[in-house]
Amino acid sequence: MDVSKLESYVLDKTSKTGIPGLSIALVSREGVEYARGFGYRDIEHGLRATPRTSYGIGSVTKSFHGPCDHAASRERSPEPRGPDRQIHLPRVEA
């Protein structure tokens, strides 16, 4: 898997926006295909971000919940909504 374009994109955006650090993972049905930390999880102590860094996300989950709920409501499925129901979101190109 060539992730050079993804890494270049992330490095460019973090540089332009001043984001100190982040971690990403690409996941398929088989499992984690790629994971990497960028920048720092703690600038003051010089601690680098890793694929296993935990972040406090606050209210950002609302921005994920809305599109997921919308997608789930548009699916015509006899399966009731619940935490185990899979939904299919549209592919987003960066």
For the chain, what's the residue count? 94
What does DSSP assign to residue 92? -
Pairing of strands 47-48, 31-42: antiparallel
Nearest CA among 89, 71, 92, 94 for reference residue 81: 71
Q: Does residue 20 register a pLDDT over 80?
A: yes
d(CA 20, CA 93): 24
- Largest alpha-carbon pair distance within the chain? 52
Taking only the tens place, the pLDDT of each residue in 82-94 is 666 665 655 655 4
Taking only the tens place, the pLDDT of each residue in 48-84 is 999 999 887 777 767 766 666 666 666 666 666 666 6
d(CA 50, CA 73): 35
Taking only the tens place, the pLDDT of each residue in 25-37 is 998 888 899 999 9
